[in-house]
Amino acid sequence: MNLPSENSRADSPLAPPPQCPAAHGPGGITRLYGTEAEHNPMGLYERLRKEHGQVAPVLLHGDLPAWLVLGYRENLEVARTPSRFSRDSRLWREAREGRLTPTHPLAPIATYQSVCVFADGQQHERWRGAVNDSIGRFDKRGIRRNVTRFSNELVDRFCATGRADLVHQFAEQLPMMAMTLLLGMPEEYGPRLVNAARDMIKGSATAVESNAYVQETLRKLVARKHLEPGADFTSWLLEHPAGLTDDEVQQHLRLVLIAAYETTANLIANTLKMVLTDVRFRASLAGGHMTLPDAVEQVLWDEPPFITILGRWATQDTELAGQQIKEGDALVLGLAAANMDTAIRPDPDVPIHGNRSHLAFSGGQHECPGQDVGRAIADSGIDALLLRLPDLTMAVDESELKYRSVLMSRHLLELPVKFTARQPSLPDAARPGPVEPDRDDAQPAQPEATPAPPAHAPRSRGSWWRSLRRLLGRG
């Protein structure tokens, strides 16, 4: 996971480059940007695998050279061997020799920052330990309860129309609503912070101003939590024995907001698309073989939220899958390519129920510490949505769906759906309202078997599944 630096703006790699250059650059090396990479990244990875084996030379934006790691085992080797492959981007030759300029499209994600993603060894352990321990204190059932409530609020905003775009109106909203609550944001910060954080991450023209707003909000939050600690991530980071400074806490809050947003939004969008379109999934469901968490896991294998991570730099001359890597070279972890490596997955059409060994969360010391939170937001959010709108179907043909692929992320642009129009369940719900933190979060959770009834979920758990089974003639 990399994060946009203070310089994030419209030319960030999170947005497509202005022109689509030819597929090959100097020396005939394949570009990991441009038309082929944007429209068919998986096809490009398989072509590279055939031509070069499990590690291929590629060119990043501005034709900066790098190695794309395609093999499953090779990705794990890189992720698990920090003595040869560091997370510290200051080692990158292109940065040392001035080719990674502050305005370069990769600068926002590759410029060193004082947070755990860019650190190794003791420094990493100190920062990561505080983040990990604090994430470990989240009340998982409380997260699910609040995500269900947010999901219902989002559905209330569009359910009277009978149509929605589930990317913009659902998948892109829910993770940030959940994360601001988990961080312990006061109610009044809610909607504006959600918008500013999303704007900052998207690298839009106002990203710099949005980043300043997010930083100032987080600075105030840290100051406030010194005075009024609560049962939230910010307070736990502050009281952690690692003794983080206020600035370190603030920068890690920003990291976690960013780390959770695009990944979880992509996971929700890709899972919803699969639930609505995939014949294999419907068949498995009808046969009682697959549950929603299984579907989430299948998506993490087939369409991981981050398709690559530009995030390791060689500390020494070394060899990997027959390629001679030089000290200071960049390595791109090919997470999506690794998940399709025939060495571990001979037939990609065979569903992988119950198997969590995909690399969607990477591996080694930097493996995502928030994976269970991401899974909880995705599956309880989708479950609540489907309970409210049991006759949800696609409003366009699957072939009309469009994606934006950039270096790290393949992002579904829209997911138009239709359903029987219904009245919102809360009287004033059709208006977008503030995101309310749940003051009960510190209370002991209800047992999973008897969840607190969502205030306005009209149906019992499982009704959407039963409806789908009926549609399939199996109910």
Nearest distance, CB of residue 393 and ligand HEM, angstroms? 25
Whichever of 159 and 255 has its CB closer to ligand HEM, that residue is 255
Nearest distance, CB of residue 362 and ligand HEM, angstroms? 3
- Note the residues at the interface with ligand HEM (CB under 6 A): 1, 79, 116-117, 128, 131, 135, 255-256, 259-260, 263-264, 267, 305-306, 309, 311, 360-362, 366-371, 373-374
Instruction: Name, in order, each residue with C-beta under 8 angstroms of 448's C-beta and a sequence gap of 6 or more.
Output: 141
- Asked whether the beta carbons of 297 and 321 are under 8 A apart, the reply is no
> In this structure, what token pair is assigned to residue 107?
């600068």
Whichever of 138 and 465 has its CB closer to ligand HEM, that residue is 138
Residue, CB closest to ligand HEM: 370
- Asked whether the beta carbons of 320 and 55 are under 8 A apart, the reply is yes
Whichever of 151 and 263 has its CB closer to ligand HEM, that residue is 263
Whichever of 111 and 467 has its CB closer to ligand HEM, that residue is 111
Instruction: Name, in order, each residue with C-beta under 8 angstroms of 9's C-beta and a sequence gap of 6 or more.
Output: 108, 203, 204, 205, 207, 208
- Asked whether the beta carbons of 268 and 10 are under 8 A apart, the reply is no
Nearest distance, CB of residue 34 and ligand HEM, angstroms? 23
Nearest distance, CB of residue 206 and ligand HEM, angstroms? 25
Nearest distance, CB of residue 300 and ligand HEM, angstroms? 7
Whichever of 250 and 263 has its CB closer to ligand HEM, that residue is 263
188 CB-side CA count, 13 A: 3
Say how far apart CA 307 and CA 309 lie, in whole Å.
Answer: 7
Whichever of 48 and 109 has its CB closer to ligand HEM, that residue is 109
Nearest distance, CB of residue 183 and ligand HEM, angstroms? 9
Nearest distance, CB of residue 329 and ligand HEM, angstroms? 17
Nearest distance, CB of residue 78 and ligand HEM, angstroms? 9
Query: Position 152: which residue type?
Result: N
Whichever of 91 and 360 has its CB closer to ligand HEM, that residue is 360
Whichever of 176 and 457 has its CB closer to ligand HEM, that residue is 176
CA distances from 227 to 92, 221, 239, 246 (A): 42, 10, 12, 13
Nearest distance, CB of residue 307 and ligand HEM, angstroms? 10
Say how far apart CA 176 and CA 263 lie, in whole Å.
Answer: 11
Radius of gyration of the chain (CA): 22
Whichever of 369 and 424 has its CB closer to ligand HEM, that residue is 369
Using CA atoms of 26, 32, 35, 40 in order, give the dihedral in degrees to the nearest 10: 140
DSSP assignment of 356-374: ---STT--GGGS-TTHHHH
Can you point out the beta strands (E) in 70-106?
A: 85-86
Element (H, E) at 59: strand 55-60
Residue 319 burial (CB count, 10 A): 10
